[in-house]
Chain A
Amino acid sequence: MNQQDPTQPIEPFLKDLLASLDAQYASPTQSFPNVEAYATQFASNVKRDCAIIVNGKPIIPTPQEDARLQFQKKWLATPLSSHQLTSFDCHLIPGTGTFIVNFCAKVKFDQSGRNRLGESADLITDNSIGRTVRPIWGSNFGLNVNLVVDESVINNSKGEIISSLNYRFTYIPEDTILKI
């Protein structure tokens, strides 16, 4: 048997994937030149023709927009998120060059009413409290995700290597103001 553990690079890969979903448009450490650059970095490891399912609903590609682009547009409209990986496991399937990865995470969303670009839908706002731009995190959601990932993740986790993404909330906190 080989001495290398092929599962070792999976954890940083998953954390990078979640970090891309959680990225802020403008933060002290990172900012994007425009909205497009920001949106297209969400889950950029996903292939354009990836099978994407979110809470049991598939994303259907159209001739104009592939599944990844649709996912990115929708994700852009979610409030700011914060994922925390809590467990993962994976199997390298012999003869296929792919890993099946299953992971669990906790995720919380910003409940301040602003979207990812920092805009609020309130026309009249009371700014007397000061312009805090810190997110107001809600309670944790439970999340279970299944991925099919190319084996090449071992050497390079940057390319388009995810061929299916199945994102499923397993628990929604009762006090969330998000409508799922």
Chain B
Amino acid sequence: TFPFESTQPMFFQDDNIQNIATNFITNYLKLWDSNRADLMILYQNESQFSMQLDSAHPHLIEASSTTGTDFGYYLHNSRNLTRVSSIKARQAKLATGQEQIYKSFTQLPKTHHDLINKPEMYSMESFTYAPLNGIMIIIHGSFEETAQPDNLDSLNSSSNSGPRGRYGGGPSKKKVPLSKKSFDRTFLVIPGPNGSMIVASDILTIRPFSSTTPWNKPVQA
């Protein structure tokens, strides 16, 4: 047996943090799915965002799935630092400030997070971050990809990253199949002027979709 207390989907340090964190995540994901430009007021010059891909993450392999998940839209920007060794590349995959962060956002597929209908697919933790009087908000869950990214420039220009070479010139016709993905996302949110909130740090982890999660299963006998 695992001697820690049994899994619980949500952890909040106190009621105040629970209010802030749940409001934040609900509104954030709503805008993330509809209009990411509206999120940019949350980011400032020193804010940081990066995305990492963990294609090796354990997941339930569905009988219906015939092929592995295609991570084509994520691979070129992935800051999985176990797999990126050059200093230049490690720094290039970190977006700092509104402009770079927005560009990163437009390079990710459009999504739908079904937080309203399937809250059991999500789990969260939130607690204080002392140095900046901020809070950490961590969410685990999954989403559906609904459309390809707005900005495909960097995908198409990374001509030597794919197994099949591009053939230079003109828009690429590369189509990556859309699918469900699971994810973990860590926000560091700090208080801004006039009661506003600032996202100081935002780390997104993308991994293969799993329809079961440890927190939505009944406790097994």
Do A and B pair up? The answer is yes
- Residues of A at the B interface (CB closer than 8 Å) are 1, 3, 5, 7-8, 10-11, 51, 53-58, 74, 77-78, 85-91, 93-98, 100, 102, 104, 106, 139-142, 144, 146, 148, 163-164, 166, 168-174, 178-180
CB-based contact A106/B215 at 8 Å: no
> Is there a chain A Cβ closer than 8 Å to B214's Cβ?
yes
**A106 contacts B125, C-beta separation under 8 Å:** no
Contact A55 B8, beta carbon cutoff 8 Å: yes
Please, how many residues of chain B have a CB less than 8 angstroms from a CB on the other chain? 60
Please name all residues of chain B whose beta carbon is closer than 8 Å to the beta carbon of A7 when the two chains form the complex.
81, 90
Query: Can you pick out 25 interface pairs between chain A and chain B where the beta carbons lie within 8 Å of each other?
Result: A8-B87, A11-B81, A53-B125, A55-B214, A74-B3, A85-B82, A91-B48, A91-B94, A91-B188, A97-B131, A100-B186, A102-B184, A102-B205, A104-B205, A104-B207, A144-B140, A146-B138, A146-B186, A148-B136, A168-B140, A168-B184, A169-B7, A171-B213, A174-B212, A179-B1
> Which of B49-57, B107-115, B157-165 participates in binding chain A?
B49-57
Residues of B within 8 A of A98 (CB): 131
Q: Which residues of B contact A140 (CB under 8 A)?
A: 58
Known: A5-B91, A142-B57, A170-B210. Is A91-B138 also a contact (CB below 8 A)?
no
B127 within 8 A of A: yes
In the bound assembly, the distance between CA atoms of A89 and B78 in angstroms comes to 10
Q: Which residues of A contact B24 (CB under 8 A)?
A: none
Inter-chain CA distance A166–B139, complex, in Å, is 12
Point out the residue from A10, A57, A97, A163 that lies within 8 Å of B7, measured CB to CB: A57
Given contacts A89-B79, A98-B131, contact A170 B138 (CB under 8 A): no
Does B167 have its Cβ within 8 Å of any Cβ on chain A?
no
Chain B positions 201-216 with a Cβ under 8 Å from a chain A Cβ: 201, 203, 205, 207, 210, 212-215
Task: State how many angstroms separate the Cβ of B52 from the closest Cβ of chain A.
Answer: 4
> In the complex, are the beta carbons of B127 and A56 less than 8 A apart?
no
The yes or no answer to B41 lying at the interface (CB within 8 A) is: no
Q: Are A170's CB and B87's CB within 8 A?
A: no
Chain B, range 124-142, C-beta contacts under 8 Å to A = 125, 127-132, 136, 138, 140
**A86-B184 contact, Cβ under 8 Å, with A96-B131, A102-B203:** no
Closest 6 A-B residue pairs measured CB to CB? A96-B131, A87-B54, A87-B80, A77-B3, A142-B58, A56-B8
Set of chain B residues within 8 Å of A100, measured between Cβ atoms: 136, 186, 188, 201, 203
* Complex Cα gap A144–B205 (Å): 9
Whether a CB of chain A sits under 8 angstroms from the CB of B200 is yes
A178-B220 Cα distance, complex, nearest whole Å: 10
